[in-house]
Amino acid sequence: MTAITWHIFDNSKALSGIVVLQAWLTLIGNCCLAAATWNLVRSERQQS
């Protein structure tokens, strides 16, 4: 979050769209990793 905020205020206005895209892709990637982790934990609980 801090890195994205820094990029918004430090980079030129022409790059703001790319920074927002990067933020959304990071959010989607983190949500996918969380879902995969949850599925692994659930799978391990069912096997034991």
What pLDDT, in 10s, does the model give residues 19-33? 889 889 999 999 999
- Angle between helical axes of 2-10 and 16-47 (0-180°, round to 10): 170
More confident: 15 or 37: 37
Tell me: pLDDT of 15 over 90: no
Predicted confidence band of residue 1 (pLDDT cuts 50, 70, 90):
low
Parse the chain into domains and list their residue ranges.
19-48
pLDDT score at 20: 86
Contacts of 22 (CB under 8 A, 6+ apart): 4, 7
- Is the pTM higher than 0.75? The answer reads no
